[in-house]
Structure 1
Amino acid sequence: MERRWPDVLWIVRHGQSAGNVASDAAHLAGLSEIAIAERDVDVPLSALGEQQASALGRWFAAMPEHERPTVVLASPYLRARRTAELIREAGGFSADLGIDADERLREKEFGILDRLTRGGVAERFPEQAEFRRLLGKFYHRPPGGESWCDVILRLRSALDTLSLHQREERVLIVCHQVVVLCMRYLLECMTEAEILGIDAAQEVANCSVTSYEFNPRLGPKGKMELTRFNFVAPLEVAGAPVTTRPDEAVAAR
């Protein structure tokens, strides 16, 4: 039987970012707009986010060397790339292991709703708030932005590449909250209702681990089987606070 999947797949949300902190402040103050100076792609980790990433790296370092990642993929966004770098530094990975940026793993694009809180969307773009209410966030695409379906479309391509070039590898992906959830949707062949139910039940924590292992007994050719979701024990053991704020354009997520 020809294998088409990695041995292990870890999907990690980036550490807490400066955007997450600014989003908390905007919501607490009841503001319409989140105060961020950078482009979304350039938003850095907070000091706590760096602590979280290093804590997760130490969790990988505690594994036997033959169980650690052999491939690292990351969103090109600064907060994801830096998380991957800190995990690699603390994780005892092979010295020549690079971090491959893949733009298909990038954050969901929010278009005209970027940097707005839910209240800000209702105030400035009431028609978009109504469209989102009618369509639901799985299908609603703000002008200049993406729906969840758009994210899923590019992730289908990313998974095809994974199955072609990372077979039997141990792959670490560092990405974003919506990407983590959309990966679950694809790998587990979920429905819209199923993945939105998971999303509603809990936020994907910063530096949480969602992992899969290849199970040859599932289906005629084997499948990836979920082994962990939103796993934050490495942070708790290291004393790094667990944070769950969605990325800055909360209303559009």
Structure 2
Amino acid sequence: MEQLQWLGVIRHGQSTGNVIAQDAETGGLEAIDIPERDADVPLSGTGRDQAGAVGSWVGELKPDERPQVAIVSPYLRARQTAELALAGTGIPAVVDERLRDRELGVLDLLTGRGVQARLPAEFARRARLGKFYYRPPGGESWADVLLRLRALLRELRDDHPGGRVLLFGHEATVLLVRYLAESLDEAELMAVAHATAVANCSISTWRREGELMRPELFNSVAHLHREGAPHTRQEDVNAEPV
């Protein structure tokens, strides 16, 4: 069966929650005070500028290099990013809940300091199991997220043989799509995660060569610099505290 020819993934632009979460972490707070539920957190003004810069990048692609379809996380910040980036391109966008961010359960809206202070047993269990397999009560492990991403990519392969697909998701989406596209193991994924600060509205792409997906870009922010959009790297609202 024919595989995807090209796959891209874009992390959403800076959100208002990113700003609040970053301030809470740097301020030494235990909790992150965000009024909206995670699914409803919007882009900040900076995030909207970043999404516009992605739109310029898409517009510069040759017609035969453009994505044929975009698949978008249902979370507002990702949908807004896709809407701004794809405006006027004619590229259809489909929302798929399997691209939602990782669910953190009892760790949601806690900083790293907060997890250690309020849930010391979970802090210790996470340290013992590691990020890949640790599942917080009521939440998901990275392995759980991979199950839904595998199912999504399998459907995309079947529905768009030889096609070009662009995903709009979250920080974990970028890292875990790389894990799948490049057939990494746990240790290789963790090495990438520890070394990589996934930027808001960064672009990562892979192109098929024979049986393999070869990386073209990873966590690229050249388009942001070119368009004068701020380059930011902040944790997703419910990204796992470190």
Q: Which residue of 2 aligns with 1:74?
A: 72
Partners in 2 of 1:250 and 1:224 — Cα distance? 27
**What secondary structure does 2:23 align onto?**
helix
Q: Which residue of 2 aligns with 1:223?
A: 212
- 1:250, distance to aligned residue in structure 2 (A): 4.1
2:188 is equivalent to residue 189 of structure 1? no
Instruction: Pick from 25, 31, 34 the counterpart of residue 32 of structure 2.
Output: 34
Q: Which residue of 1 aligns with 2:168?
A: 174
Whether the 8 Å contact between 1:75 and 1:175 is mirrored in structure 2 is yes
Q: Which residue of 1 aligns with 2:131?
A: 137
Partners in 2 of 1:4 and 1:195 — Cα distance? 23
Partners in 2 of 1:155 and 1:79 — Cα distance? 19
- 1:153, distance to aligned residue in structure 2 (A): 1.0
Q: Which residue of 1 aligns with 2:18?
A: 20
- 1:252, distance to aligned residue in structure 2 (A): 4.3
Gaps spanning 5+ residues in structure 1: where?
Answer: 217-221
Partners in 1 of 2:239 and 2:76 — Cα distance? 19
Q: Which residue of 1 aligns with 2:46?
A: 48
Query: Residue 9 of structure 2 aligns to which amino acid in structure 1?
Result: I
CA RMSD in angstroms comes to: 1.2
Q: Which residue of 2 aligns with 1:244?
A: 233
Partners in 2 of 1:157 and 1:223 — Cα distance? 19
2:29 is equivalent to residue 4 of structure 1? no
**What secondary structure does 1:116 align onto?**
coil
- 1:223, distance to aligned residue in structure 2 (A): 2.5
Q: How many residues are paired up?
A: 242
> TM-score when scaled to structure 1?
0.92
> TM-score when scaled to structure 2?
0.96
- 1:240, distance to aligned residue in structure 2 (A): 0.7
Whether the 8 Å contact between 1:117 and 1:250 is mirrored in structure 2 is no
Partners in 1 of 2:143 and 2:196 — Cα distance? 20
Whether the 8 Å contact between 1:212 and 1:225 is mirrored in structure 2 is yes
Whether the 8 Å contact between 1:69 and 1:93 is mirrored in structure 2 is no
- 1:102, distance to aligned residue in structure 2 (A): 0.8
Partners in 1 of 2:224 and 2:102 — Cα distance? 25
Runs of 4+ in 1 over 3 A off after TM superposition: 249-253
Partners in 2 of 1:169 and 1:228 — Cα distance? 18
Q: Which residue of 2 aligns with 1:219?
A: none
